Amino acid sequence: MDPATISLGALLLAIVVSCMVRLHVGFLAISLAWIVGVYVGGMSAREVMEGFPTRLFLTLTGVTLLFAQAQANGTLDRIAHGVVRHCRGNVGAMPIMFFFLAFALSSIGPGNIASTALVAPMAMAVAGQVGVPAFLMTIMVANGANAGGLSPIAPTGVIVNGVMAEIGLEGFETLTYFNNMTAHIVVAFLGYFLLGGWRLLGRHHAGTLKLPGVDAGDTSSAEAAAGFNRTHWTTVGVIGTLLAGVIFFDVSVGLGAFAAAIVLSLLKAGDEVEAVKAIPWRVIMMVCGVTVLISVLDETGGLDLFTQLLAGLSTPESVTAVVAFSTGIISIYSSTSGVVLPAFLPTVPGLATTLGSDPLAIASAMNVGAHLVDVSALSTLGALCMAAAPSHEDSRRLFNQLMVWGHSMAVVGAGVCFLLFTVLRIGLP
């Protein structure tokens, strides 16, 4: 068996293991890269190690370090509570408000998982009090968080943009963010109307909403949840300065985030010791490990073989639908940012050349298809919302609803990506 086939088999093994076994797929991928690269592909150990994505590692670490400080000092929690305390009146508008709250938080840096963890407890508590179905609220919160997940300063956005830069698609950070946002807005609001959210627009809630962590009779508790002090304003100012630097002055997101984190520590607004403990090292090493294996595939011809297999299933017109469906199905059972996208995105240049298609359209379809299914009960986002559901909700019924929705999104994602990126060509240069 030739090295290309063996290396592709190693990648497929890593994907299968990530779907079925609680084994760190990043460490497995590095081990497979060493075995295949050195003992099958004739590479040296040094050449295998050169596949480690140093730039991506530093960027991810810097961004997550900064926002771990912002979460630890209560800034993000206060932003969320402050918005929720204005959630009054029209019941039907509340799921929409939580969609945009999750979207905004995800976009400014914490990413989809952290934003869902912040918003879901409040959203599900409000849903239980005003009579919004937990299934509808989950769809709005999770899709909102995913809509902002490919922001250039969010962890998943850093991963995707890093991989795209490696394959020659650098400079499309804004379009990547816009394309993912557009698809999730379309799907979320279609779900909102199909599930009867519009019927709630005529209902009003006149009572006081009880938010998690806030005792309605305790003034100090309410102030702690909603009030900003020097630490929080400092954190907001530092993050805002970083955003401005990235947008207007081409500041490196990762290196700028390290500097911002140090500034917070020097100003006594953040604790880097606690923040380091909160960095998702498991996810970071998962992404980096799979990237090392992908570099071995590239050297041994396995990546070309993988591209040929995908191209054989596609036509220039259907490629966006095919790759969106493929990434969606795998992403239901595997890590979207840690496994699926690092494995599929490197095939984009070959697919685009073979089929004569727009590479950004293909990459956008992969990004969207892999993320739309993340409302499933098997995903972190769906699980966070389920865990926060009111006690009167039927947990088994909610689980089944999310499973059906998540799996259906593989098909819906294929259709949406075909419409947006092949027919309408939205968000393409």
> CA separation (Å) from 122 to 87, 131, 374?
11, 14, 20
In this predicted structure, the answer to whether residue 215 has a pLDDT above a threshold of 60 is no
pLDDT of residue 211: 66
Q: For residues 160-181, give the mean pLDDT.
A: 95
349 token code pair: 């240049």
Quick one: what percent of the chain has pLDDT higher than 90?
Answer: 63
Tell which residue, 98, 18, 106, 26, has the closest CA to residue 284: 26
129 token code pair: 């009090």
- 80: pLDDT confidence band, cut at 50, 70 and 90? confident
132 token code pair: 């919004």
Domain residue spans of the chain: 1-50+283-300
Q: What helix, strand, coil percent values describe the chain, rounded to 5?
A: 75, 0, 25
pLDDT in tens, 395-406: 889 999 999 999
pLDDT of residue 74: 85
SS3 90: strand
pLDDT of residue 412: 97
In this predicted structure, the answer to whether residue 217 has a pLDDT above a threshold of 60 is no
Q: Are 47 and 205 in contact (CB under 8 A)?
A: no
CA 136 – CA 132 distance, rounded (Å):
7
- 237: pLDDT confidence band, cut at 50, 70 and 90? very high
pLDDT of residue 221: 44
Beta strands in 138-186 (DSSP E): none
Q: For residues 368-385, give the mean pLDDT.
A: 91
pLDDT in tens, 266-277: 999 988 888 899
- Residues near 11 by beta carbon (within 8 Å), at least 6 away in sequence: 293, 294, 297, 302, 306, 343
pLDDT in tens, 294-309: 999 999 999 999 999 9
SS3 40: coil
276 token code pair: 């380091």
pLDDT of residue 85: 67
CA 365 – CA 354 distance, rounded (Å):
17
pLDDT of residue 50: 95
217 token code pair: 């009779």
pLDDT of residue 202: 77
Q: For residues 238-266, give the mean pLDDT.
A: 90
pLDDT in tens, 21-79: 878 889 999 999 999 999 999 999 999 999 999 988 999 899 999 988 988 898 888 88
SS3 223: helix
pLDDT of residue 356: 95
CA 94 to chain centre: 23
Q: Which H or E element spans position 242?
A: helix 230-249
- 203: pLDDT confidence band, cut at 50, 70 and 90? confident
CA 228 to chain centre: 28
47 token code pair: 């050449």
pLDDT of residue 208: 64
pLDDT of residue 170: 93
pLDDT of residue 76: 83
pLDDT of residue 213: 59
Q: Which residues of 116-137 are buried (b: 16+ CB within 10 A; e: fewer)?
A: bbbbbbbbbbbbbbbebbbbbb
**Global pTM?**
0.86
Q: Are 58 and 51 in contact (CB under 8 A)?
A: no
- 391: pLDDT confidence band, cut at 50, 70 and 90? confident
CA 200 to chain centre: 29
Give the up-direction half-sphere exposure of residue 261: CA atoms within 13 A in the CB hemisphere.
26
Averaged pLDDT score across all residues of the chain: 89
pLDDT in tens, 129-159: 888 999 999 999 999 999 999 999 999 999 9
CA 156 – CA 146 distance, rounded (Å):
10
- Residues near 295 by beta carbon (within 8 Å), at least 6 away in sequence: 33, 48, 50, 51
